[in-house]
Amino acid sequence: MKKTHAFGKAWIKRAVFAAVLLFMLPMKPEEYQAITEDEVKQAERELENAKQQAQQLDNKLNELNGNISDTESYISQVDGWISDVTLQIYNLNQEIDAKQAEIDAKQAQINETLANIDTVKADIARTEVDLADAQATEEYQYSSMKLRIQYMYENGDESFLDILFSSDSMVDFLNNAEYISEISKYDRQKLIEYGETKDRVSTLLANLGVQKEDLEAQEAQYETELTELENQKSVLDSKKSEQEVLQASYTDLYNAKNNELSNLELQQSDTEYRKQLALKEVEEQEQRVEEARKQYAAWLEEQARLNQDADAAVAAKLAEINVTGFTWPVPGYNKITSQFGMRMHPILGYEKLHDGTDISGAGINGTPILAAYSGTVILAQSYWGYGNCVKIDHGGGVVTLYAHASAILVSVGQQVNAGDTIALVGSTGNSTGPHLHFSLIIKGEFVNPLDYVVVPR
């Protein structure tokens, strides 16, 4: 903001300076003395300031270019980090999916094994029922056979003989004998069969028990393997989470750096624009300096030519004026607040020639300003730092100037006499308070008015 304000003030001063140049071009050599050597130097200082401003902007632009390059390089590096992390996350996802597939397959094996265990348990339950039935049947057969054996033992062979001899015929006898034999044979066969059935069912039950133990051992192994797979997947998930946090961090950094880059590019664009303005200002200020030097050189040349003739004219005019004397421009006020000569300018802040005498006093604001001598008004307008200003050409190379007026009461070309009211005291232009700045110009040079005008007591 300070630089922008300085730019604004510089533009205003240069615009005023250009206006002064244009205003003075048509004037006669003794009238454009406002282009002094001091003001040429001021223009040269402003040119140097403009060059320094342009150089500062160029340095800032170079710094911004370096910062932009560094930021772009860093963004590229962060982009590489994001790519690496994204690839790692992708690979971890592949591993996690593969591990999940293993977990699912292992869980399927466990489920299948559990189903097989359930099947074997059901088979065992049925086999145990079958074994119980077989044992019961065997015991029943064995009990029946024991009863028949006991019966035969207790009764000897009489029962069988009774059965045989009670036969009505040979055929019936043979049939009864065969019947008795078959009963014994049947008892033995059934006992063997029931025993075999019981042994077979017992063997099956034992095999089912072994099979159940094998399946349960297999289930335990699968559960262990499943736990290991789930632990491995948990590690992969943890690594993926870490990489995702890192990816988010890199992404935030990437976005922040891109925002920083955008701001730098905006500053770069603005600085480049202001640099171009500054370079243009340097170019224009160089033209102003050149023009000021030309004007000053032209004035010096013209002044040298006129000096030969002016000396006599000035001497004659001063002799004429000395007969009656200059009229004091502000009757009733004789307080001199600033003498003619070099001084520190109260507004501009640097040492500068004070080309007149400042007259002030209590209540001076609005007081009439009188023409110090008769002549022709050659300036009646706001005039650079003088504010509202009147210049009167008295002839013979003698000119008086009245500055900082609050109002101008005459116009260019008007003839005035000594003591005529030409303006009112004010504080326009570069002024710190109401007063009259009174200057005397002889042969185009400002001289101390108090060397020619008597201050009233």
Tokens matching residue 152: 């035969």
10 Å Cβ neighbour count for 94?
A: 11
Query: How far is Cα 99 from Cα 233, in angstroms, rounded to an integer?
Result: 6
Q: Which residues pair with 114 in a beta bridge?
A: none
Residue 83: pLDDT band (50, 70, 90) is very high
* Position 355 pLDDT exceeds 80: yes
Residue spans of beta strands (DSSP E) within 314-432:
335-338, 341-344, 351-354, 357-360, 368-370, 375-382, 388-395, 398-405, 407-408, 415-416, 421-424
Query: How far is Cα 46 from Cα 52, in angstroms, rounded to an integer?
Result: 10
Query: Tokens 């971890």 correspond to what residue?
Result: 92
Instruction: Quote the DSSP letter at residue 327.
Output: P
Dihedral of alpha carbons 310, 313, 315, 317, sign: negative
Residue 202: pLDDT band (50, 70, 90) is confident
Residue 165, helix vs strand vs coil: helix
Residue 299: pLDDT band (50, 70, 90) is confident
Tokens matching residue 22: 């244009």
Query: How far is Cα 400 from Cα 447, in angstroms, rounded to an integer?
Result: 10
Over residues 166-189, the pLDDT tens digits come to 666 666 656 655 656 666 677 677
Task: Yes or no: say if 405 and 389 are a contact pair by the CB < 8 Å rule.
Answer: yes
- In terms of average pLDDT, the best of 47-56, 118-127, 162-171, 398-407 is 398-407
Q: Which residues pair with 370 in a beta bridge?
A: 421
What is the mean pLDDT of the segment spanning 67-76? 94
Lowest mean pLDDT among 41-50, 201-210, 233-242, 303-312: 303-312
Task: Yes or no: say if 85 and 93 are a contact pair by the CB < 8 Å rule.
Answer: no
Name, in order, each residue with C-beta under 8 angstroms of 210's C-beta and a sequence gap of 6 or more.
none
What is the mean pLDDT of the segment spanning 33-39? 69
Query: How far is Cα 359 from Cα 335, in angstroms, rounded to an integer?
Result: 6
Among 339, 346, 329, 334, residue whose Cα is nearest residue 402: 329
Higher model confidence: residue 192 or residue 261?
A: 261
Domain spans of the chain?
13-324, 325-457
Among 82, 79, 205, 81, residue whose Cα is nearest residue 135: 205
Pick the CATH number of 325-457 from 3.40.50.920, 3.40.640.10, 2.70.70.10, 3.40.47.10: 2.70.70.10
Query: How far is Cα 390 from Cα 382, in angstroms, rounded to an integer?
Result: 9
Query: Given 3-state DSSP classes, what are the helix, strand and coil percentages for the chain, each rounded to the nearest 5?
Result: 70, 15, 20
Residue 215: pLDDT band (50, 70, 90) is confident
Among 337, 334, 329, 339, residue whose Cα is nearest residue 371: 329
* Position 6 pLDDT exceeds 70: no
Query: How far is Cα 124 from Cα 122, in angstroms, rounded to an integer?
Result: 5
Estimate to the nearest angstrom the gap between the alpha carbon of 80 and the chain centroid.
21
* Position 290 pLDDT exceeds 50: yes
- 214-222 own/partner pairs: CB under 8 Å, 24+ apart: 215/113, 215/116, 215/117, 215/120, 216/117, 218/113, 219/110, 219/113, 219/114, 219/117, 222/106, 222/109, 222/110, 222/113
- The strand pair at 335-338 and 436-442 is best described as unpaired
* Distances, alpha carbon 86 to alpha carbons 81, 247, 271, in Å: 8, 7, 38
